[in-house]
């Protein structure tokens, strides 16, 4: 049963629906006590996207973006909710920039938590979410007290693009490419203005700044134009679904260099690799005609050899001599962790009989960082170094 304890606080018992997906509303909520589940019905199944607790704000998307509810909100325990009307929200935004930052963080966190849980039809959420964050972040910037404006470099130029990127990326939401695609789109839609300022005397790099003339109408205009583009079949969200090598590395817990190696060794399908046509063609203009016809593998000194991939840097005569002193089992260990290039190099530098055994009865695959693989690598590289010093 829903009961009103004061003009600004509502109580909801466990299991009660606070609002439904598709519902229109002009209020948001802040949790005073209790917990709230945000969920969607995907393929007729209830999928909880986030569980919110004391101090969390929800329903702000509908309020700030002037849109219908995008999910259900249900009390997962008895809760007290502070009702945030549109007027109250505007006063909070004007009077307390820290409230804006809190909302940006909450919105970002919620998008991260719901990533991968929504259906394909919700891909446009990325574009709208970035628009909403820009809307709120720009209000924080615009409502900054005058005594603090002097502390912001080039404040009169507008909201720094690099500052906006840092805010979004620090929350692990979107890649640089996605943010740039978003800003490029809203700029072309003439919803924002972009100014540039040269960095340093050489002018090789520029800092960009965002200005929004009518911040109060920004989201309303954006949603109208976005809807028209969708009706015309124009794809905005497809541009928002790309990531850079660095972003992929960060999301998979590795380093960009290892992603490059995976590509070089053809361990990643080529249909994952795309280029911006205009930028790629512009970049190749000043390249020599033989640039794409030759590839020079970077060389490594003996002291830097460390894993099975580095066998490729050892010349065949040296490898042939070292393998002559190596046990077949240890050779098979190295073979088990190598890619096709390493396997071929090993077979070329051992006897035909051993090569046939490796081909016909290949050992189980091992990881590069397998302790026994690393131990065999260390022993092999030590023998190669001794051989080179003796020459």
Residue 293 lies in a domain: no
Question: 48, 68, 88: which is the final residue of a domain?
Answer: 88
Residues 380, 322 contacting (CB under 8 angstroms):
yes
CATH code of the domain containing 82: 2.60.120.10
**Whether residue 10 sits in one domain with residue 128:** no
**pTM of the complete model:** 0.42
Q: What is the Cα–Cα distance from 308 to 347, expressed in whole angstroms? A: 14
For residue 355, give the CATH number of its domain.
Answer: 1.10.220.30
Beta pairing partners, 6? 9
Closest CA to 41 of 112, 121, 140, 105: 121
DSSP 379: H
Residues of the chain with pLDDT below 70 are: 1-7, 61-67, 89-126, 169-174, 199-205, 229-243, 265, 270-271, 276, 295-298, 391
* Residue 110, C-beta contacts closer than 8 angstroms, at least 6 positions apart: 38, 49, 50, 58
Give every strand in the sheet of 193-199, ordered side by side.
Answer: 159-160, 205-211, 193-199
Structure tokens at 381: 């590289």
In a domain, 79, yes or no: yes
- For residues 48 and 41, give the distance between their C-alpha atoms in angstroms, rounded to a whole number: 9
Q: Which of 53, 72, 88 is the last residue of a domain?
A: 88
The neighbour count for residue 313, using CB atoms within 10 Å, is: 15
Q: Is the same domain home to 350 and 374?
A: yes
Co-location of 52 and 136 in the same domain: no
Full domain range(s) for residue 29? 1-88
- With contact defined as beta carbons under 8 Å apart, do 26 and 90 qualify? no
Short-list 227, 234, 253, CA closest to 68: 227
124 and 198 assigned to the same domain: yes
Radius of gyration from C-alpha coordinates of the chain: 29
Let me know: does 222 contact 186? Beta carbons within 8 Å: yes
The dihedral sign for the CA sequence 208, 212, 218, 221: negative
pLDDT at 342: 92
pLDDT of residue 122: 43
Q: Are residues 114 and 212 in the same domain?
A: yes
Per-residue pLDDT tens digits for 201-254: 544 467 899 999 888 888 888 888 777 766 655 555 444 456 677 777 777 888
Number of structural domains (the chain) is 4
pLDDT of res. 210: 94
Residue 253: phi and psi, rounded to 5, are 70, 30
In a domain, 294, yes or no: no
- Asked whether the beta carbons of 307 and 374 are under 8 A apart, the reply is yes
- 374 and 311 co-located in one domain: yes
The pLDDT value given to residue 236: 52
């Amino acid at each position: 049963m829903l009961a009103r304890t004061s003009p600004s606080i509502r109580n909801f018992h466990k299991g009660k629906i606070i609002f439904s997906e598709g519902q229109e509303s002009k209020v948001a909520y802040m949790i005073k006590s209790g917990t709230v589940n945000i969920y969607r019905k995907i393929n007729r199944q209830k999928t909880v996207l986030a569980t919110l607790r004391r101090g969390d704000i929800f329903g702000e998307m509908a309020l700030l973006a002037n849109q219908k509810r995008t999910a259900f909100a249900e009390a997962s325990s008895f809760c007290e909710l502070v009702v945030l009307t549109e007027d109250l929200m505007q006063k909070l935004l004007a009077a307390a920039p820290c409230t804006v930052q809190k909302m940006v963080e909450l919105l970002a966190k919620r998008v991260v938590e719901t990533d991968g849980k929504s259906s394909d039809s919700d891909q446009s959420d990325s574009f709208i979410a970035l628009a909403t964050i820009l809307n709120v972040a720009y209000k924080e910037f615009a409502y900054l007290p005058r005594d603090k404006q002097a502390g912001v470099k080039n404040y009169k130029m507008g909201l720094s693009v690099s500052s906006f990127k840092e805010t979004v990326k620090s929350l692990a939401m979107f890649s640089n490419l996605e943010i740039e695609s978003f800003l490029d789109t809203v700029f072309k839609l003439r919803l924002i203005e972009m100014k540039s300022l040269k960095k340093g005397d050489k002018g090789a790099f520029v800092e960009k700044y965002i200005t929004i003339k009518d911040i109060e109408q920004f989201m309303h205009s954006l949603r109208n134009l976005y809807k028209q583009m969708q009706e015309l079949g124009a794809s905005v969200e497809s541009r928002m679904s790309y990531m850079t090598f660095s972003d992929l590395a960060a999301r998979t817990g590795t380093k960009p260099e290892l992603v490059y190696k995976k590509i070089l060794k053809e361990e990643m399908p080529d249909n994952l690799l795309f280029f911006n046509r205009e930028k790629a063609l512009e970049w190749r203009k000043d390249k020599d005609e033989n640039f794409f016809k030759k590839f020079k593998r970077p060389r490594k000194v003996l002291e830097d050899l460390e894993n099975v991939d580095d066998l490729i840097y050892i010349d065949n005569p040296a490898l042939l001599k070292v393998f002559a002193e190596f046990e077949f089992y240890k050779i098979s260990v190295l073979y088990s962790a190598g890619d096709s290039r390493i396997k071929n190099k090993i077979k070329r530098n051992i006897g035909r009989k051993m090569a046939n055994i490796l081909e016909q009865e290949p050992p189980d695959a091992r990881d590069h960082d397998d302790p026994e693989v690393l131990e065999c690598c260390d022993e092999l590289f030590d023998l190669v170094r001794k051989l080179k010093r003796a020459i």
